[in-house]
Amino acid sequence: MLTEIESSVDSPHTSERQIARLAPQSDWQTQLKEAVRSVDELLDRLQLTARDLDQPALHNAPFPLRVPLSFVNRMRPGDPNDPLLRQVLPSGRETEPQPGYSDDPLAEQGQNPAPGVIHKYRGRALLVSTQACAVHCRYCFRQHFPYADNRLSRDDWQQALAYLSSQPDVNEIIFSGGDPLSLPNDRLAGMIADLERLPHLTTLRFHSRTPVVLPDRLDAGFLEMIRSTRFKTVLVIHANHTRELNDEVHRALAPLRRIGCTLLNQAVLLRGVNDRLEDQCALSRRLFDCDVLPYYLHVLDPVRGAAHFDVDDREARSLWQSMQAELPGYLLPRLTREVPGDAGKRWLNP
């Protein structure tokens, strides 16, 4: 693909429009660097002031603000309750005492049989190849983990591979994080090539919010990787609200579908973001427009700082029942909770 871009740029017949169409595809790393990182800048861009907020924003939060401009551009200017804004703006409520909320609610730290490997469920193993994310979500259950960009070293990776080759029951690898798509293509391609040498592996899955917050990340190099791997591929995106899925996201996902990648969505049920029936139905229908099927609707993990997003189980179940009455079965996500020690996600739907 690189040669195609180079040659088309060199050709005297290439129109400016063609170049403009090709140019942004290599641009995602710049967009990552240019992500908004300050509360004041974010509020400024949305024509909001501190006075418009019902809760004071938290400046210099330990889990810092981070949001790409592409996502900011989908927020409604002048609306302090915008559901996209709520997911990323650090709130003073994060520092309130929150009994029952902990730093590691899923007890993941110390669950690694090898560096970067979380193997809790039979048949599939999670690979945490980076802690970095394109966006920082205030409800994230990993927000108190070291979020620096500490990638697996070469030696760690060899240990992870050795572990996986000793586990013939595992047939699916899930690239998670952090966000695996914050890694460059060459890095991902190297890991995939190593994994392809393990004959018992059949399926490669990505869990990533990047296609939603930074759709240009699904660039030609990534598509080529998905097209050429011997693995069956699954991309589980993470959108919580219908307005996150603008045309840019739709356009970026379309080629993946065409090359046979299964597209699913996981969402988190969040107070003030997507806790009304119309929010959930609109999300499911919009996902279907984008060729993505709803997979999981997770209830909030009790992570310290996120209590204001909580929807209790009774309300969550009743919302799900109303969704069932509105939506075709294939647009109904499974309502789940992750319980440390369980053999899989626990289904809460009645």
Ligand X SMILES: *Cc1c(COP(=O)(O)O)cnc(C)c1O
Residue 120 sits in the site that holds ligand X (CB under 6 A): yes
Interface residue with ligand X among 84, 89, 126, 270 (CB under 6 A) is: 126
Residue 263 sits in the site that holds ligand X (CB under 6 A): no
**Closer Cβ to ligand SF4, 83 or 201, answer by number:** 83
Q: Sheet containing 334-337: which strands, arranged edge to edge?
A: 117-118, 124-128, 172-176, 203-207, 232-237, 262-268, 293-298, 334-337, 346-347
290 is in an annotated binding site: no
The answer to whether 244 and 285 have CB atoms below 8 angstroms apart is no
**CA distance linking residue 53 with residue 238, whole number of Å:** 26
Which partner from the list ligand X, ligand SF4, none does 209 bind, CB cut-off 5 to 8 Å by kind?
ligand SF4
Q: One-letter amino acid identity for 56?
A: P
Residues that bind ligand SF4 (CB under 6 A): 133, 135-137, 140, 142, 177-179, 209
Which partner from the list ligand X, ligand SF4, none does 137 bind, CB cut-off 5 to 8 Å by kind?
ligand SF4
Tokens of 167: 């586990």
Which partner from the list ligand SF4, ligand X, none does 142 bind, CB cut-off 5 to 8 Å by kind?
ligand SF4
> Least distance (Å) from ligand X to the CB of residue 330?
17
- Please list every residue from 128 through 187 that binds ligand X, using CB under 6 A: 174
**CA distance linking residue 150 with residue 252, whole number of Å:** 28
What beta strand segments (E) does the chain contain?
Answer: 117-118, 124-128, 172-176, 203-207, 232-237, 262-268, 293-298, 334-337, 346-347
Block residue for tokens 């210099």? 60
Interface residue with ligand X among 76, 187, 227, 345 (CB under 6 A) is: 345
> Least distance (Å) from ligand SF4 to the CB of residue 112?
17
Block residue for tokens 């040669």? 3
Interface residue with ligand X among 121, 250, 275, 277 (CB under 6 A) is: 121
The answer to whether 307 and 101 have CB atoms below 8 angstroms apart is yes
137 is in an annotated binding site: yes
> Least distance (Å) from ligand X to the CB of residue 126?
4
For residue 125, the cross-strand partners are 173
Which span sits near ligand X by CB under 6 A: 1-9, 273-281, 312-320, 338-346? 338-346
Peptide bond into 178 cis (omega under 30): yes
Tokens of 98: 């929150």
Looking at the chain, how many residues does it have?
A: 350
Which partner from the list ligand SF4, ligand X, none does 195 bind, CB cut-off 5 to 8 Å by kind?
none
Binding residues for [4Fe-4S] cluster: 133, 137, 140
Using CB under 6 A, list all residues that contact ligand X. Answer: 118, 120-121, 124, 126, 174, 338, 344-345
Residues of each annotated binding site: 133, 137, 140
